[in-house]
A and B are shown apart, each in its own frame.
Chain A
């Protein structure tokens, strides 16, 4: 996409928001087992970055990954079916919330190991380009991940070999309960600059701001520039994980939460539309999600006899554990 399209951005942000809210309802209803890491409040980042990408570009995400997968174009119904563990899900019920992947739209997977996905994406973009494809990649990670050696090694590889990867740090201020100030020496942008990578800090609550920064970085990368980093400042509106709805961890001052929630990407993006257009998008998102919930819950549960299907791409079958 070249120019801003406020309606499209709003639609993505709104879709992710409502997807997350419906998913939390399904967690509470026991349909999503294991809970989720809600992306509520951070929607502007996935929406903005993916709006700056082409369909053929590649993305990897995180444990808090629903937004990345949806923004890159995965079908919300199959995504929700995946969260519900149904065979109709993106990963046939094998991945769930933290591993949702849709290779068809360039999502090489949410990855539940903090800091792990950057090196994988770098290798994937490198190989596709070696085969002549003119594409770039974007990998998302939290502020906690910038202390993982593997991610910093990936910064170095990507910069050294000039692999066009946009490293997107979603700085929501906390790694679970650990505040950034207690974890990050120096700065996040400084980590990138040390590897010769341009770094831009942006307001992650405004999807248009994120899109602009991402589009500029992507344009430089497509023109032959090396990797770049965007640090998007954001706030996680909800719990680290839905388990927190039960245990009530005490680590964020109520005033801070209120201030954080006052800058809502849905409202910021929505204010750019006229109310009628906005209402129309809201209604269409509701319809999409209503159909997604129906689709997800109607999907069959996987047959236990197939639990080890897809373990080996070579067709090897594993010995079973019993008897």
Chain B
């Protein structure tokens, strides 16, 4: 079976959609030479009109994409580093997201914001290591965090085809993954997947942490049967899929590479306890409140949710009640 890397899955999704649909254009900094190694080969195939290097003008080119979308394009905007989303939060949330309602349904804004290398890239420190997906979920912008190459392909394709703005976070921790994929296919937005079936506890893991959760589940196999649920899309969230899982296991642990306060883990727990009577208090493993990733590798790792913390959280949940 052909091996597909996460990065090439993104490239292939872009190329396939650009081939399928003339209205797809890609904008970003240094994308013609594929500095982020995602847009490789696209300019040769589709030309510089459709694969546009932008000046360093994040706010303008993000809103430029909104305007292009209003005029019929399906732009994909690549961001070199996740913290640039702080710079364009206004353009995405206050314009792209709000336009359809504010105009009374006169338009759609089908822009995809692609962030390859989100979260910690060890050694990049404070201003390059954010993972701000919860901000977009909070704002109601469709927010996707694929964990695997097949999902990276399938979710990016669906994001491009979606009539709403969609932010696609490709975690740095997943970019180097490869897997066997016979036929890459679209993955529907808003649908989670059980990555590993189990009976005693449901672990919800976001993005690259799915792989940590699977490893922990393997390690605990003798002691506990752990179900791993990968939501894939954080907004809209597959609440029914998750409730189905937790209704069987009766226990919930969430592992999320965002800050603790007002993070997606808090929302997941709140929604589940609204709908399911749990056998034990739920737990979450996250970055600390207000986290800024320090430079030294040991410090960087210390503020990221780790396998040991996840193991401990699962064990505590199993012990309680």
Contact = CB atoms under 8 A, between A and B. Distances in A.
Interface stretch (A10-18, A212-220, A282-290, A311-319): A311-319
Interface stretch (A118-126, A170-178, A269-277): A118-126
B308 to A, nearest CB: 34
A152 to B, nearest CB: 8
Interface stretch (A32-40, A84-92, A198-206): A84-92
Interface string A67-93: 000000000000000000000011111
B104 A310 contact: yes
A99 interface: yes
A313 B163 contact: yes
A123 to B, nearest CB: 3
Contacts of B190: 316
A315 to B, nearest CB: 8
B202 to A, nearest CB: 20
A103 B101 CA distance: 14
Given A127-B67, A310-B101, A313-B100, A119 B164 contact: no
A312 B142 CA distance: 10
Contacts, number: 154
Chain A interface, >50% SS class: mixed
Of B63, B67, B190, most buried by chain A (CB within 10 Å of CB) is B67
Contacts of B95: 111, 113, 116, 120
A310 B106 CA distance: 9
Interface stretch (B29-37, B53-61, B115-123, B176-184): B53-61
B261 interface: no
Contact of B57 (A91, A128, A153): A153
A311 B101 contact: yes
Contacts of B297: none
Nearest to B107: A103
Given A91-B106, A153-B59, A311 B100 contact: yes
A157 interface: yes
Interface residues on B, range: 35 or more
Interface residues of A, number: 46
A309 interface: yes
B236 interface: yes
B110 A157 contact: no
Contact of A127 (B73, B109, B140, B163): B73
B105 interface: yes
Contacts of A130: 25, 49, 73
B100 A95 contact: no
A131 interface: yes
B224 interface: no
A156 interface: yes
A140 to B, nearest CB: 15
Interface in A149-182: 149-150, 153-154, 156-157, 160
The 3 A-B pairs with the shortest beta carbon distances in the complex, nearest first, are A123-B67, A153-B60, A92-B104
Interface of B: 25, 49, 54-55, 57, 59-73, 75, 90-91, 94-95, 99-110, 140, 142, 162-164, 190, 236
9 contacts: A108-B67, A108-B107, A113-B94, A116-B95, A119-B61, A119-B91, A123-B69, A123-B70, A130-B73
Interface of A: 58, 89-95, 99, 101-103, 108-109, 111, 113, 116, 119-128, 130-131, 149-150, 153-154, 156-157, 160, 308-316, 318
